[in-house]
Structure 1
Amino acid sequence: MSQRIQFRQHGGPEVLELIDVPVAEPGPGEVRVRNHAIGLNFIDTYFRSGLYAPPSLPSGLGNEGAGVVEAVGEGVSTFQPGDRVAYGTGPLGAYAEHHVLPAGNLVKLPDSISFEEAAAAMLKGLTCQYLLRQTHPLQAGDTVLFHAAAGGVGSIACQWAKALGVRLIGVVGSAEKAERARALGAWATIDRSREDVVQRVLELTDGRKCPVVYDSVGKDTWEISLDCVAPRGLLVSFGNASGAVTGVNLGVLAQKGSLFVTRPTVAGYADTPERLQAMADELFAMIDSGRIHIETGQRYPLRDAAEAQRRLAARETTGSTILLP
C-alpha cells in the first residue's frame, strides 16, 4: 500500500485527507516514481478550491516531485528502475509516496542536485526559465517589475535576473520580505503595504516604467501592473494568488500605451520531452554554478499538507516549501 493526499470536494485546506491506496502499476508509456520529496505550489490551492477543475473527484493533488524510478511501463526506453528523476508538470497526484506519470513528463536528475532541491525548484525554476528566457528574453540592463519577489518563484527570479545583469524591481508585502528580496539579488524593492507601487516604479525608472511586468497575484494587482508597463511593453500574468483576472477590456491596452498581455504556463512551453529536458538542464546548470541557490524555507511531513497549504495561502512562508513522504 501507498499513502497519498486526496480531496473529495472543493474547499479549504480541511478537505485534504491522507489515505492508503494500492501501489499502482505503470501502463504503456508510463513510469512509477517513488517520491523522496514533493513540491508545494500556489497552483495546488487552485485545484483544491475549485478555481481550476481537476479531471474528476476524488482527486490527488500536486504537480511536482523528485525521486527514483521503481517501474516502467511498456514502450518506455528513456528511463529504467533506479534512475533519479524529477517532474514539475504533473499530472495531479504528486502528494503521495508513489506517483505514476507519463515518461514524457519526467526529466533526468543529475547527481549534483538533491531530491529536496529538485522538488523545491522544478515548477518554480521552470517557470522562471520560461518567464525570463522565453516569454520575453531579457537582456543585461533591462529593468523589470516582479510581484511576490520573496516567494517561491520570486526567490529564484531575483537570483536569475541578477545573473543575467537585469535590474529586477521586486514587489513585496513587508520590510522583512523586502530585505530578503534584495539579499537574493533584486535591484530595488517596493513594499506594497506602505508604498505606492506605480509611483515608486516611476521614480525608479525616471518615468519610463518597465518594458516587462511579471504578475502572479492576479485580480488585486491587474490595474497596478498595467500602469507600470512602458508603452508597447508586456504584462506577463502568470498566476491568480488573489483571484482570476476577469472582464478585461482590451481597449484599456490601447489607452495605456498599446500594451501587450500574455497568460503563459509551464506546460505551454515545456510541451515536448525535449523542450522540458532542455529547460530543466538550464535550470540545473544555474544551480550547479552557484548562481541560483534553492532555499527550502519549510518542510512538512506529507500528512501535514493541509497546514502547509494554509501557511502558503496566508503568505506566512518564504522561499520554497516541500512535503516529505
Structure 2
Amino acid sequence: MLQKAVRFHEIGGPEVLRYEDVEVGAPGPGEVRIRHVAVGLNFADTYFRTGYYPVKPTCGIGVEASGVIEEVGEGVAGFAPGDRITYTGSPLGAYSTARVMPAGSLIKLPETIAFETAAAMTMRGLTSSYLLRRICPTLKAGDTVLLHAAAGGVGLIVSQWAKLLGLNVIGTVSTDAKAEIARAHGCDHVIRYDHEDVPTRVREITDGQGVAVVYDSVGATTFQGSLNSLKRRGMLVCVGTASGPIPPIDALQLAIKGSLYVTRPALADYIADPAERAELAGELFSHVAAGRIKIEVNQRYALEDAVQAHRDLEARKTTGSSIFVI
C-alpha cells in the first residue's frame, strides 16, 4: 500500500528532509497498521536529523502521532481495527500518512480527546507528567520552580499543571509576546532572559533563597544560570538541549553551590512500564478532558512542508505545540 512519508538520507539542516512515497505493508506479529490523522512536531526531531541522536542514514523521522488502527497482526491483544490511538517513542517514522508499528507502543485515545490535541500533547504531556509527578516527589504546594522556555509546548503544560499542584512558577521567555502567553498559562513571574540576568532576578523574586527545581530544556546557554538559581539542595532537571549539550559537570561545584542535584532524564524510561505509562497518561487525559489543562496548537503544517516546519522550530518562531495535519 503506497503512502507518503518524510525521511532523510543524510544528516544536516532542514533541507535534508524528503517527502517521499513509501510502501506500507500488512502488520506482522505483535504489530498494527495505523492511519495517521495528526503528527506531532517536536524539537527532539531535530536531534535525529542533525545526528545528535545517531540513527541509520536512510531513516524516517518523528516520534509522536495519533490516528486509527486499520489492521492488527497476529498475537495483538487489547487493540482492534477502528480503535483511536496515540503514541510517542520509537521506532521513528511518525512523519507519515500511515505506518506499521509495535502495538506495545500505543495508548488508547479517549473519545474526549481530539486527534489534533493528542498529537500536540502526547510527548509533551507525558513529559510534563513525569517531570512533575516522578522526578522530584518532595515538591509541595508553595514551592517555587524555574521553568525555561515557558511559552513552548512543554512549558505551557508544565506551568498549568504546576499551578494545579499549588507551585509558584517563574518562567523564562525571549519576547514580550511569549511573556504574555506564559503569564496566561500560569507563570507567576516571567523573566526576559535576553536582557535580564536570570539568577539575579530569581534571587530577587525568592527573597534570596533560590528555587527548589529548575526545569531546563535549553541546555548549553542556560546550564550555569540554572545552577546559580537553585536553593540549597535544589535540583536541576536537564530535560533538553535546544542550545546545545550541557558542559561536563564538576561534582565539587555542586557541593559548593549548596549540595545540589542534577538529573538528565529521558521520557522513554518513565513510560517503559505499561502500568506507569497508563497511569501518567490517564492523569494527563483527565486534566485535558476536564479543561484544567489546555493544549495550545498554535502552528499547523502539511506533511510536505516539513522543511519549513523545522526551520520555524529552530528559529524559535513557534509557541505552544506544533503539528502536521494529515
Please indicate, yes or no, whether the TM-score normalized by the shorter chain is above 0.5. yes
Q: Please name the residue that 1:21 is paired with.
A: 22
Matched residue, 1:231? 232
Alignment of 1:237-256 (within 5 A): 237-256=238-257
Residue aligned with 2:212, SS = strand
In the TM superposition, 1:45-84 aligns within 5 A as: 45-54=46-55, 56-84=56-84
CA distance in 2, matches of 1:229, 1:214: 11
Query: What's the counterpart of residue 90 of structure 2?
Result: 90
Residue 183 (structure 1) aligned with residue 181 (structure 2): no
User: Deviation of residue 198 (structure 1)?
Assistant: 0.6
Once residues 224 and 169 of structure 1 are traced to their aligned partners in structure 2, the CA distance between those partners, rounded to angstroms, is 14
CA apart distance, 1:24? 2.5
Please list the CA deviations of residues 30-64 of structure 1 after superposition, one character each: whole Å capped at 9, or x if unmatched. Answer: 1211110000000000000111112x120000000
Deviations 1:150-204 (A, max 9, x none): 0010011111111111111001111111111001111111111121101110011
Deviation at 1:297, TM superposition (A): 0.3
Equivalence map 1:1-325=2 (5 Å): 1-54=2-55, 56-137=56-137, 138-325=139-326
Alignment partners' CA distance in 2, 1:224 and 1:143? 16
Structure 2: 5+ residue stretches without partners: none
For the residues of structure 2 that align with 1:117 and 1:133, how far apart are their CA atoms?
21
| C-alpha contact 1:47 1:53 (8 A) present in aligned 2 | yes
Distance, in Å, in 1 between the alignment partners of 2:101 and 2:321 is 23
Q: Mean alpha-carbon deviation: is it higher for 294-303 or for 22-31?
A: 22-31
Cα distance in 1 for residues equivalent to 2:275 and 2:305: 35
SS of residue matched to 2:180: helix
Q: Distance in 2 between matches of 1:90 and 1:295?
A: 25
Q: Provide the aligned length of Structure 1 versus Structure 2.
A: 324
Structure 1: 4+ residue segments shifted above 6 A: none
Once residues 278 and 59 of structure 2 are traced to their aligned partners in structure 1, the CA distance between those partners, rounded to angstroms, is: 27
**Other structure's SS at 2:317 match:** coil
TM-fit CA distance, 1:272:
1.8
Q: Retained in 2: the 8 A contact 1:10–1:50? A: yes
* Secondary structure of 2:221 counterpart: helix
Distance in 2, matches of 1:198 and 1:26, equals 52
Tell me the amino acid that sits aligned with residue 150 of structure 2: A
C-alpha contact (below 8 Å) 2:24/2:100 kept by paired residues:
no
Distance in 1, matches of 2:266 and 2:21, equals 32
Distance in 2 (CA, whole Å) between partners of 1:140 and 1:24 is: 51
Question: 246-255 or 147-156: which moved more?
Answer: 246-255
Contact 2:129 2:280 in 1 (8 A): yes
DSSP 3-state at the match of 1:293: coil
More moved, 94-103 vs 217-226: 94-103
Task: In structure 2, give the amino acid aligned to 1:142.
Answer: D
Deviation per CA, 1:99-147, whole angstroms, max 9, x where unpaired? 2222111100000100000000000000000001110133211100000
Report the Cα distance in structure 1 between the residues aligned to 2:73 and 2:222, rounded to whole angstroms. 45
Task: Give the drift of 1:5.
Answer: 0.3
- 1:75 to partner: Cα distance: 1.0
What secondary structure, in the 3-state scheme, does the structure 1 residue paired with 2:200 have? helix
TM-score where L is the length of structure 1: 0.98
Amino acid at match of 2:20: I
For residues 226 and 155 of structure 1, the distance between their equivalents in structure 2, rounded to whole angstroms, comes to: 22
User: Percent identity over the alignment?
Assistant: 53
What root-mean-square deviation, in Å, do the aligned CA atoms of Structure 1 and Structure 2 show? 0.9
**Gapped regions of structure 1 (runs ≥ 5):** none
CA deviations 1:69-94 (Å, max 9, x no partner) are 01112111110100000001232100
- 1:29 counterpart letter in structure 2: G
Deviation at 1:296, TM superposition (A): 0.4
